[in-house]
Amino acid sequence: MSQERKISQTFSTSIEVVSLSKYIYADNAATTKLDDKALEAMLPWLREYYGNASQPYSFAREPKKALADARATIATCINAEPEEIFFTSGGTESDNWVIKGRAFSDSSYRATVTSSFEHHAVLRSCAAIEQLRYPVAYMLPTNAGYILPETLRSVITNQTGLVSVMYANNELGSIQPIRKLCDVAHAHGALFHTDAVQVVGHVKIDVRDLGVDFLSASAHKFNGPKGVGFLYVRKGCRILPYADGGAQEFGLRAGTENIAGIVGMATALKVNCDQIKENEDQLRSLEQIIIKRLDTSGILYFRNGGEHTLPGLISLSFPGKDGEAILHRLDLMGICISTGSACDSKKTEISHVLRAIRLDNSAALGTVRVSLGKYNMPEEAEKIAEALIKVCGC
Ligand code: PLP
């Protein structure tokens, strides 16, 4: 199918025609474009070396080595040991595994503490263990979108077994004080998990410096393929197997490995980690183009997420405007942004994240998320700002 195919043909509606090649993609928090090097690295494992890594014959040797190399590459990128990296199908599985795997790993399991603005992969896993009578406490973030160590101190008890706080919020971009939260958890004898799905491959991560016990990541958020991710499990931390079956992933996550996906993930992560500072600088300058244009436009707006945000993620509230209408108007202009997290973008309700930070209804309903990525160019940032001004200024 041609890149130049018109979007209107896909849906057979009469919407304004935008050529796919001219589309400005600014929803990188939902998913990212596959890096060409990752794609190239994946192809041999789909075409030629399709052997099952668990088999004893020599045709399995190459896939087995590819798995080991990918595990080592990923471990190096986050300063972990290869045996601490467990391949999964993505962020959702990694989050489910930790929350449920910790609760079910110990018959005397105690309580979980999390935050009320986690991704649904964590929140719904917590709801599932609550159904089985494992207590869960939910911390509220500040209005700017941060979980403070003192908030954790006020709810954590010696009964807490696991604390789970996301590294950066996917709607606001706010980066949490993970090291400090981790220290509070450990001081109370609890283990610490962070959902780092929005952060891995975008900001330098050192699991030893952070002190976390578990960390979730997803390849498609850092220019890798969809349907693959990993869970970091610090050596010595007990967790129940996620899937029972074969002996893959050190006996903790059964299932024939997705070698091409795993190789693509490791390649994409290495590419991004090798140029993490350059990417961050580029994204900060793109952000500034949009913010400066909005500031000088005279439009009523504010930015959410406080002082410490992910590079390129901008949550903007236009009080009195309709975020969904903004999204659709920009879509017709060939610009792809979001109103909230990808999973919620079909709903018109205020997202649980914006509720958690107590944004008033008028601002919350007029909130959109622009999330830029390494392939965005300055002229695209200009066009996004112009489009927002045009749509929100009338
Ligand atoms: N956690 C966060 C913070 C996310 O943003 C997402 C996806 O949007 C997920 C988890 C789920 O990841 P995946 O799409 O790989 O299942």
104-147 tens-digit pLDDT: 887 776 899 999 999 999 999 999 999 999 999 999 999 999 99
Is residue 4 pLDDT above 80, yes or no? no
Pocket residue to mutate for ligand 1, from 197, 230, 343, most atoms within 8 A of Cβ: 197
Pocket residue to mutate for ligand 1, from 170, 176, 258, 265, most atoms within 8 A of Cβ: 170
Q: Which residue has the higher pLDDT, 393 or 270?
A: 270
Ligand 1: centre distance to CA 57 (Å): 37
- Mean pLDDT in residue range 180-197: 97
For 74-87, how does the pLDDT look when each residue is reduced to its tens digit (9 = 90+)? Answer: 999 999 999 999 99
Ligand 1: centre distance to CA 17 (Å): 31
Give percent of the chain with pLDDT exceeding 70: 92
Confidence at 340, pLDDT banded by 50, 70, 90: low
For 95-116, how does the pLDDT look when each residue is reduced to its tens digit (9 = 90+)? Answer: 999 999 999 887 776 899 999 9
Residue 226 CA, closest ligand 1 atom number = 15
Confidence at 349, pLDDT banded by 50, 70, 90: confident
For residue 346, the model assigns a pLDDT of: 55
Is residue 284 pLDDT above 80, yes or no? yes
Nearest CA to ligand 1 atom 5: 170
Nearest CA to ligand 1 atom 12: 91
The set of residues, in sequence order, having a beta carbon less than 8 Å from that of 18 and lying 6+ positions away, is 6, 7, 332, 333, 334
For residue 105, the model assigns a pLDDT of: 83
For residue 104, the model assigns a pLDDT of: 87
Look at the block and give the residue holding tokens 């010595």: 236
DSSP-derived pairing of the beta strands 111-115 and 85-88:
unpaired
Q: If 0-12 CB within 10 Å is exposed, 13-18 middle and 19+ buried, where does residue 307 land?
A: exposed
For residue 374, the model assigns a pLDDT of: 98
Is residue 65 pLDDT above 70, yes or no? yes
Confidence at 15, pLDDT banded by 50, 70, 90: very low
Pocket residue to mutate for ligand 1, from 94, 119, 167, 339, most atoms within 8 A of Cβ: 119
Catalytic residues: 343
For residue 347, the model assigns a pLDDT of: 52
Ligand 1: centre distance to CA 43 (Å): 25
Whole-model pTM: value is 0.93
For residue 14, the model assigns a pLDDT of: 43
Alpha helices in the chain (DSSP H): 7-11, 36-47, 61-78, 91-103, 120-131, 149-155, 178-187, 207-210, 259-274, 276-297, 323-332, 352-356, 361-365, 378-392
Q: How far apart are CA 225 and CA 264, in angstroms?
A: 6
Confidence at 19, pLDDT banded by 50, 70, 90: low
Residues with CB under 6 A from ligand 1: 90-92, 95, 119, 121, 166, 170, 195, 197-198, 218, 229, 341-342
